[in-house]
Amino acid sequence: MKTIRKIKNLKNKKVLVRVDFNVPVRDDGIVDEKEDWRIRAALPMIEYLLEKEAKIILISHLGRPDANRKFILDTTVDSRLHRNDNIAKYSLKPVADRLEGLLNREIKFIDDCIGDGAKRAVEEMRAGEIVLLENLRFYKEEKENNEEFAKELAGLADIYVNNAFSVSHRKHASVHAITKFLPSYAGLLLEKEVEILSKAINNPKKPATIIVGGAKMKTKVPVIEYLIDKFDHILVGGIVANVILKAKGIDTGKSLIDGIDIKEVRKIDLASNKLYVPVDAAVCNSQKKEVDLRAVGKIGDNKILDIGPETGKLYSKIIRDSKTVIWNGPMGMFEKEDFAFGTREIAEAVVKSKGYTIIGGGDTIAALDQFGCIGNVDYVCTGGGAMLEFLAGKKLPGLEALE
Protein backbone atom coordinates (compact mmCIF):
# COMPACT_ATOMS: atom_id res chain seq x y z
CA MET A 1 0.00 0.00 0.00
CA LYS A 2 1.54 3.31 -1.12
CA THR A 3 1.60 6.01 1.52
CA ILE A 4 1.78 9.78 1.11
CA ARG A 5 5.32 9.64 2.51
CA LYS A 6 6.42 8.33 -0.92
CA ILE A 7 5.95 11.78 -2.47
CA LYS A 8 8.93 13.98 -1.71
CA ASN A 9 7.68 17.26 -3.15
CA LEU A 10 4.13 18.31 -2.28
CA LYS A 11 4.66 22.06 -2.49
CA ASN A 12 1.71 23.75 -4.24
CA LYS A 13 0.13 20.36 -4.97
CA LYS A 14 -3.64 20.22 -4.54
CA VAL A 15 -4.15 17.27 -2.20
CA LEU A 16 -7.66 15.90 -1.74
CA VAL A 17 -7.84 14.16 1.64
CA ARG A 18 -10.71 11.84 2.56
CA VAL A 19 -11.07 12.25 6.31
CA ASP A 20 -13.74 11.01 8.71
CA PHE A 21 -15.25 14.02 10.47
CA ASN A 22 -18.45 12.16 11.34
CA VAL A 23 -18.78 13.59 14.85
CA PRO A 24 -21.81 14.55 16.95
CA VAL A 25 -22.94 18.16 16.54
CA ARG A 26 -24.98 19.75 19.34
CA ASP A 27 -28.35 21.41 18.70
CA ASP A 28 -26.65 24.80 19.00
CA GLY A 29 -24.38 23.91 16.07
CA ILE A 30 -21.21 23.30 18.05
CA VAL A 31 -18.90 20.27 18.09
CA ASP A 32 -18.18 19.57 21.76
CA GLU A 33 -14.50 19.12 22.57
CA LYS A 34 -15.39 15.83 24.30
CA GLU A 35 -16.75 14.53 20.99
CA ASP A 36 -14.03 15.72 18.59
CA TRP A 37 -11.66 12.74 18.80
CA ARG A 38 -12.08 11.86 15.12
CA ILE A 39 -11.13 15.41 14.14
CA ARG A 40 -8.10 15.28 16.43
CA ALA A 41 -7.05 11.94 14.93
CA ALA A 42 -6.75 13.63 11.51
CA LEU A 43 -4.53 16.48 12.73
CA PRO A 44 -1.13 14.79 12.15
CA MET A 45 -2.03 14.25 8.47
CA ILE A 46 -3.12 17.86 8.04
CA GLU A 47 -0.03 19.18 9.85
CA TYR A 48 2.21 16.99 7.67
CA LEU A 49 0.72 18.53 4.51
CA LEU A 50 1.04 22.02 5.98
CA GLU A 51 4.74 21.42 6.55
CA LYS A 52 5.04 20.30 2.92
CA GLU A 53 3.27 23.51 1.77
CA ALA A 54 0.50 21.63 -0.02
CA LYS A 55 -2.96 22.98 -0.81
CA ILE A 56 -5.22 20.89 1.42
CA ILE A 57 -8.77 19.99 0.35
CA LEU A 58 -10.67 18.00 3.00
CA ILE A 59 -13.73 15.87 2.21
CA SER A 60 -15.94 13.92 4.62
CA HIS A 61 -19.45 12.76 5.35
CA LEU A 62 -21.54 13.53 8.42
CA GLY A 63 -24.40 11.33 9.56
CA ARG A 64 -27.06 9.91 7.26
CA PRO A 65 -28.76 12.90 5.61
CA ASP A 66 -31.39 12.71 2.90
CA ALA A 67 -29.36 12.73 -0.29
CA ASN A 68 -31.43 15.48 -1.93
CA ARG A 69 -28.86 17.46 -3.90
CA LYS A 70 -28.88 16.96 -7.64
CA PHE A 71 -25.72 15.80 -9.31
CA ILE A 72 -25.45 17.63 -12.63
CA LEU A 73 -22.65 16.81 -15.04
CA ASP A 74 -22.98 20.24 -16.65
CA THR A 75 -21.00 22.02 -13.96
CA THR A 76 -21.87 25.44 -15.38
CA VAL A 77 -25.21 24.83 -13.68
CA ASP A 78 -25.21 25.34 -9.92
CA SER A 79 -25.70 21.90 -8.35
CA ARG A 80 -26.83 23.21 -4.98
CA LEU A 81 -30.38 23.25 -3.64
CA HIS A 82 -31.74 25.87 -1.28
CA ARG A 83 -30.73 25.29 2.32
CA ASN A 84 -33.22 23.32 4.38
CA ASP A 85 -33.39 21.59 7.74
CA ASN A 86 -31.60 18.52 6.39
CA ILE A 87 -28.64 20.61 5.26
CA ALA A 88 -28.56 22.65 8.47
CA LYS A 89 -28.54 19.49 10.60
CA TYR A 90 -25.87 17.65 8.65
CA SER A 91 -23.65 20.47 7.44
CA LEU A 92 -19.92 20.22 8.10
CA LYS A 93 -19.73 23.94 8.93
CA PRO A 94 -19.54 23.28 12.73
CA VAL A 95 -16.69 20.86 12.02
CA ALA A 96 -14.85 23.57 10.10
CA ASP A 97 -15.24 25.87 13.12
CA ARG A 98 -13.88 23.22 15.49
CA LEU A 99 -10.97 22.37 13.18
CA GLU A 100 -10.12 26.07 12.95
CA GLY A 101 -9.89 26.22 16.74
CA LEU A 102 -7.73 23.09 16.97
CA LEU A 103 -5.28 24.22 14.28
CA ASN A 104 -5.42 27.90 15.19
CA ARG A 105 -5.60 28.84 11.52
CA GLU A 106 -8.30 29.73 9.01
CA ILE A 107 -10.34 26.92 7.48
CA LYS A 108 -12.29 27.97 4.42
CA PHE A 109 -15.63 26.17 4.38
CA ILE A 110 -17.36 25.66 1.01
CA ASP A 111 -21.07 24.78 1.10
CA ASP A 112 -20.81 22.19 -1.65
CA CYS A 113 -18.35 19.43 -2.55
CA ILE A 114 -18.61 19.75 -6.35
CA GLY A 115 -19.67 22.44 -8.79
CA ASP A 116 -18.40 25.89 -9.62
CA GLY A 117 -18.20 27.10 -6.02
CA ALA A 118 -15.88 24.29 -5.01
CA LYS A 119 -13.77 24.70 -8.17
CA ARG A 120 -13.35 28.45 -7.68
CA ALA A 121 -12.36 28.00 -4.03
CA VAL A 122 -9.69 25.45 -4.95
CA GLU A 123 -8.36 27.51 -7.86
CA GLU A 124 -7.87 30.48 -5.52
CA MET A 125 -5.96 28.47 -2.90
CA ARG A 126 -2.39 29.24 -1.96
CA ALA A 127 0.18 26.83 -0.56
CA GLY A 128 -0.54 26.03 3.08
CA GLU A 129 -4.24 26.87 2.89
CA ILE A 130 -7.04 24.49 3.94
CA VAL A 131 -10.50 24.09 2.43
CA LEU A 132 -13.24 21.86 3.91
CA LEU A 133 -15.97 20.90 1.45
CA GLU A 134 -19.59 20.19 2.37
CA ASN A 135 -21.02 16.79 3.34
CA LEU A 136 -20.45 14.22 0.58
CA ARG A 137 -23.61 12.35 1.49
CA PHE A 138 -25.84 15.20 0.35
CA TYR A 139 -25.41 13.39 -2.97
CA LYS A 140 -26.74 9.84 -3.33
CA GLU A 141 -23.96 9.22 -5.85
CA GLU A 142 -21.45 9.13 -2.98
CA LYS A 143 -22.91 5.94 -1.48
CA GLU A 144 -23.60 4.52 -4.95
CA ASN A 145 -19.85 4.65 -5.75
CA ASN A 146 -20.78 6.63 -8.85
CA GLU A 147 -17.75 7.08 -11.11
CA GLU A 148 -18.90 10.37 -12.65
CA PHE A 149 -19.36 11.86 -9.18
CA ALA A 150 -15.93 10.54 -8.18
CA LYS A 151 -14.45 12.08 -11.34
CA GLU A 152 -15.91 15.47 -10.39
CA LEU A 153 -14.30 15.25 -6.96
CA ALA A 154 -11.01 14.12 -8.49
CA GLY A 155 -11.06 17.09 -10.86
CA LEU A 156 -10.38 19.38 -7.90
CA ALA A 157 -6.96 17.95 -7.11
CA ASP A 158 -3.60 16.58 -8.21
CA ILE A 159 -3.35 13.82 -5.59
CA TYR A 160 -5.84 11.78 -3.53
CA VAL A 161 -5.17 10.62 0.03
CA ASN A 162 -7.37 8.22 1.98
CA ASN A 163 -6.87 9.04 5.65
CA ALA A 164 -10.15 7.51 6.80
CA PHE A 165 -9.72 3.87 7.85
CA SER A 166 -13.14 4.08 9.51
CA VAL A 167 -14.95 4.30 6.14
CA SER A 168 -12.63 2.07 4.15
CA HIS A 169 -15.03 -0.86 4.45
CA ARG A 170 -17.49 1.18 2.35
CA LYS A 171 -17.44 1.01 -1.44
CA HIS A 172 -18.25 4.71 -1.78
CA ALA A 173 -17.21 7.19 -4.46
CA SER A 174 -14.86 9.20 -2.21
CA VAL A 175 -13.17 6.02 -0.97
CA HIS A 176 -13.18 3.61 -3.89
CA ALA A 177 -14.12 4.96 -7.34
CA ILE A 178 -12.04 8.13 -6.93
CA THR A 179 -8.79 6.14 -7.01
CA LYS A 180 -9.37 5.51 -10.72
CA PHE A 181 -8.90 9.19 -11.52
CA LEU A 182 -5.99 10.38 -9.36
CA PRO A 183 -2.64 9.12 -8.07
CA SER A 184 -3.82 7.68 -4.74
CA TYR A 185 -2.08 7.15 -1.41
CA ALA A 186 -2.74 6.10 2.16
CA GLY A 187 -2.66 8.86 4.75
CA LEU A 188 -0.74 8.74 8.02
CA LEU A 189 -3.77 7.74 10.12
CA LEU A 190 -4.86 5.02 7.72
CA GLU A 191 -1.31 3.67 7.62
CA LYS A 192 -1.12 3.68 11.42
CA GLU A 193 -4.46 1.92 11.97
CA VAL A 194 -3.70 -0.81 9.43
CA GLU A 195 -0.25 -1.36 10.94
CA ILE A 196 -1.54 -1.59 14.54
CA LEU A 197 -4.48 -3.89 13.74
CA SER A 198 -2.41 -6.10 11.43
CA LYS A 199 0.21 -6.64 14.11
CA ALA A 200 -2.45 -7.28 16.75
CA ILE A 201 -4.19 -10.05 14.81
CA ASN A 202 -1.29 -11.58 12.90
CA ASN A 203 1.43 -11.43 15.52
CA PRO A 204 -0.16 -10.72 18.91
CA LYS A 205 1.80 -10.97 22.11
CA LYS A 206 0.37 -13.89 24.06
CA PRO A 207 -1.83 -14.44 25.89
CA ALA A 208 -4.10 -12.49 23.54
CA THR A 209 -7.70 -11.65 24.38
CA ILE A 210 -10.54 -10.15 22.39
CA ILE A 211 -13.69 -8.83 24.07
CA VAL A 212 -16.77 -8.81 21.86
CA GLY A 213 -19.99 -7.23 23.05
CA GLY A 214 -22.79 -4.94 21.98
CA ALA A 215 -25.26 -5.86 19.26
CA LYS A 216 -25.05 -6.42 15.47
CA MET A 217 -24.26 -10.10 15.86
CA LYS A 218 -24.00 -10.54 12.08
CA THR A 219 -20.81 -8.44 12.08
CA LYS A 220 -19.38 -10.18 15.16
CA VAL A 221 -19.72 -13.84 14.09
CA PRO A 222 -16.97 -13.58 11.41
CA VAL A 223 -14.62 -11.92 13.93
CA ILE A 224 -15.05 -14.68 16.51
CA GLU A 225 -14.84 -17.36 13.83
CA TYR A 226 -11.62 -15.89 12.39
CA LEU A 227 -9.83 -15.12 15.68
CA ILE A 228 -10.78 -18.19 17.71
CA ASP A 229 -7.68 -20.02 16.42
CA LYS A 230 -5.39 -16.98 16.64
CA PHE A 231 -6.30 -15.71 20.12
CA ASP A 232 -6.19 -17.39 23.54
CA HIS A 233 -9.43 -15.95 24.95
CA ILE A 234 -12.65 -14.63 23.46
CA LEU A 235 -14.90 -12.96 26.03
CA VAL A 236 -18.47 -12.14 25.01
CA GLY A 237 -21.11 -9.88 26.50
CA GLY A 238 -24.15 -7.84 25.53
CA ILE A 239 -26.54 -9.13 22.88
CA VAL A 240 -23.64 -11.08 21.36
CA ALA A 241 -23.54 -13.20 24.54
CA ASN A 242 -27.33 -13.64 24.52
CA VAL A 243 -27.21 -15.03 20.99
CA ILE A 244 -24.31 -17.38 21.72
CA LEU A 245 -26.00 -18.66 24.88
CA LYS A 246 -29.16 -19.34 22.89
CA ALA A 247 -27.14 -21.12 20.18
CA LYS A 248 -25.65 -23.31 22.93
CA GLY A 249 -29.18 -24.22 24.03
CA ILE A 250 -29.13 -22.14 27.25
CA ASP A 251 -32.34 -20.31 28.20
CA THR A 252 -32.04 -16.51 28.02
CA GLY A 253 -35.59 -15.63 29.02
CA LYS A 254 -36.89 -12.51 27.29
CA SER A 255 -33.43 -11.18 26.54
CA LEU A 256 -32.81 -9.30 23.30
CA ILE A 257 -31.61 -11.53 20.49
CA ASP A 258 -30.28 -10.16 17.22
CA GLY A 259 -32.27 -11.22 14.18
CA ILE A 260 -29.57 -13.60 13.03
CA ASP A 261 -30.14 -17.20 11.98
CA ILE A 262 -28.83 -19.40 14.80
CA LYS A 263 -27.33 -21.66 12.12
CA GLU A 264 -24.97 -18.78 11.28
CA VAL A 265 -23.87 -18.55 14.91
CA ARG A 266 -23.16 -22.28 15.01
CA LYS A 267 -20.36 -21.71 12.47
CA ILE A 268 -18.39 -20.71 15.56
CA ASP A 269 -16.85 -23.55 17.54
CA LEU A 270 -19.23 -23.07 20.48
CA ALA A 271 -17.54 -25.87 22.44
CA SER A 272 -14.10 -24.23 22.28
CA ASN A 273 -12.46 -23.67 25.66
CA LYS A 274 -11.26 -20.32 24.32
CA LEU A 275 -14.82 -18.97 24.10
CA TYR A 276 -16.09 -17.54 27.40
CA VAL A 277 -19.75 -16.75 27.99
CA PRO A 278 -21.27 -15.07 31.07
CA VAL A 279 -21.92 -17.30 34.09
CA ASP A 280 -24.22 -14.77 35.75
CA ALA A 281 -26.15 -11.70 34.68
CA ALA A 282 -27.94 -8.58 35.86
CA VAL A 283 -31.54 -8.82 34.70
CA CYS A 284 -34.55 -6.57 34.66
CA ASN A 285 -37.17 -8.38 36.73
CA SER A 286 -40.34 -8.39 34.63
CA GLN A 287 -42.60 -8.49 37.69
CA LYS A 288 -40.97 -6.03 40.12
CA LYS A 289 -39.26 -3.90 37.44
CA GLU A 290 -36.11 -4.12 39.55
CA VAL A 291 -32.55 -5.29 39.01
CA ASP A 292 -31.88 -8.90 39.98
CA LEU A 293 -28.74 -11.02 39.74
CA ARG A 294 -29.30 -14.43 38.24
CA ALA A 295 -27.15 -17.41 37.29
CA VAL A 296 -27.10 -17.89 33.53
CA GLY A 297 -29.57 -20.63 32.65
CA LYS A 298 -31.93 -19.44 35.39
CA ILE A 299 -32.98 -16.13 33.85
CA GLY A 300 -36.67 -16.98 33.97
CA ASP A 301 -39.17 -14.48 32.58
CA ASN A 302 -36.61 -11.66 32.56
CA LYS A 303 -34.20 -9.72 30.33
CA ILE A 304 -30.41 -9.91 30.58
CA LEU A 305 -29.09 -6.33 30.48
CA ASP A 306 -25.55 -6.76 31.85
CA ILE A 307 -23.01 -9.37 32.89
CA GLY A 308 -22.98 -10.23 36.60
CA PRO A 309 -20.22 -9.84 39.21
CA GLU A 310 -18.87 -13.41 38.89
CA THR A 311 -18.50 -12.96 35.15
CA GLY A 312 -16.89 -9.59 35.78
CA LYS A 313 -14.28 -11.18 38.07
CA LEU A 314 -13.56 -14.00 35.62
CA TYR A 315 -13.22 -11.67 32.62
CA SER A 316 -11.18 -9.09 34.53
CA LYS A 317 -8.56 -11.63 35.61
CA ILE A 318 -8.13 -12.87 32.05
CA ILE A 319 -7.80 -9.29 30.76
CA ARG A 320 -5.29 -8.23 33.40
CA ASP A 321 -3.12 -11.27 32.61
CA SER A 322 -3.20 -10.70 28.84
CA LYS A 323 -0.46 -9.09 26.76
CA THR A 324 -2.75 -8.13 23.89
CA VAL A 325 -6.33 -6.93 24.46
CA ILE A 326 -8.81 -5.84 21.77
CA TRP A 327 -12.27 -4.64 22.77
CA ASN A 328 -15.29 -3.87 20.60
CA GLY A 329 -18.77 -3.65 22.12
CA PRO A 330 -20.06 -2.99 25.67
CA MET A 331 -21.12 -5.71 28.11
CA GLY A 332 -24.60 -4.33 28.69
CA MET A 333 -26.85 -1.29 28.81
CA PHE A 334 -24.11 0.91 30.29
CA GLU A 335 -26.12 4.08 29.59
CA LYS A 336 -28.28 3.17 32.62
CA GLU A 337 -26.45 3.15 35.95
CA ASP A 338 -28.21 -0.04 37.12
CA PHE A 339 -26.65 -1.91 34.19
CA ALA A 340 -23.30 -0.13 33.85
CA PHE A 341 -21.40 -2.42 36.25
CA GLY A 342 -20.16 -4.97 33.72
CA THR A 343 -18.90 -2.48 31.14
CA ARG A 344 -17.25 -0.41 33.87
CA GLU A 345 -15.60 -3.51 35.35
CA ILE A 346 -14.19 -4.49 31.95
CA ALA A 347 -13.07 -0.91 31.24
CA GLU A 348 -11.14 -0.79 34.51
CA ALA A 349 -9.53 -4.17 33.79
CA VAL A 350 -8.52 -3.04 30.30
CA VAL A 351 -6.83 0.15 31.54
CA LYS A 352 -5.04 -1.81 34.31
CA SER A 353 -3.82 -4.45 31.88
CA LYS A 354 -0.06 -4.50 31.30
CA GLY A 355 -0.66 -5.64 27.74
CA TYR A 356 -1.19 -3.58 24.59
CA THR A 357 -4.82 -2.43 24.55
CA ILE A 358 -6.93 -1.48 21.53
CA ILE A 359 -10.56 -0.36 21.62
CA GLY A 360 -12.96 0.48 18.82
CA GLY A 361 -16.64 1.05 18.11
CA GLY A 362 -18.73 4.09 18.99
CA ASP A 363 -20.45 2.56 22.03
CA THR A 364 -17.20 1.21 23.49
CA ILE A 365 -15.51 4.58 23.11
CA ALA A 366 -18.55 6.34 24.62
CA ALA A 367 -18.46 3.96 27.59
CA LEU A 368 -14.77 4.53 28.32
CA ASP A 369 -15.30 8.24 27.97
CA GLN A 370 -18.23 8.02 30.41
CA PHE A 371 -16.07 6.19 32.94
CA GLY A 372 -13.10 8.54 32.45
CA CYS A 373 -10.87 5.73 31.15
CA ILE A 374 -10.37 6.60 27.49
CA GLY A 375 -7.01 8.27 27.99
CA ASN A 376 -5.55 5.11 29.52
CA VAL A 377 -5.75 2.70 26.58
CA ASP A 378 -2.91 2.31 24.11
CA TYR A 379 -4.93 2.84 20.94
CA VAL A 380 -8.43 4.06 20.10
CA CYS A 381 -9.39 2.88 16.62
CA THR A 382 -11.47 5.39 14.67
CA GLY A 383 -13.51 2.66 12.98
CA GLY A 384 -16.17 0.39 14.41
CA GLY A 385 -17.51 -1.46 11.38
CA ALA A 386 -14.20 -1.17 9.51
CA MET A 387 -12.34 -2.51 12.55
CA LEU A 388 -14.66 -5.53 12.77
CA GLU A 389 -14.30 -6.38 9.08
CA PHE A 390 -10.52 -6.06 9.34
CA LEU A 391 -10.46 -8.26 12.44
CA ALA A 392 -12.52 -10.83 10.53
CA GLY A 393 -9.79 -11.03 7.89
CA LYS A 394 -11.94 -9.41 5.20
CA LYS A 395 -10.63 -7.24 2.36
CA LEU A 396 -11.64 -3.59 2.78
CA PRO A 397 -12.60 -1.93 -0.54
CA GLY A 398 -10.87 1.33 0.39
CA LEU A 399 -7.59 -0.46 1.07
CA GLU A 400 -7.83 -2.67 -2.01
CA ALA A 401 -8.38 0.45 -4.16
CA LEU A 402 -5.07 1.89 -2.94
CA GLU A 403 -3.25 -1.27 -3.99
Active site residues: 38, 216, 362, 385
d(CA 244, CA 226): 16
In Å, what is the CA distance from 195 to each residue of 1, 129, 279, 305, 379? Answer: 11, 30, 35, 35, 12
Closest CA to 104 of 47, 36, 57, 51: 47
Q: In whole angstroms, how far apart are CA 346 and each of 75, 204, 308?
A: 53, 20, 11
CA angle 145/195/353 to nearest 5° reads 120
Dihedrals phi, psi of 163, to nearest 5 degrees: -115, 20
Strand-pairing partners, residue 16, are: 57, 160
Q: How far apart are CA 19 and CA 107, in angstroms?
A: 15
β-pairing, 303-307 vs 291-295, is unpaired
CB 36 within 8 A of CB 102: yes
Cβ(165)–Cβ(21) under 8 Å? no
Report the alpha-carbon distance of residue 160 to residue 174 in Å, rounded. Answer: 9
**What span, in angstroms and rounded, lies between the C-alpha atoms of 279 and 283?**
13
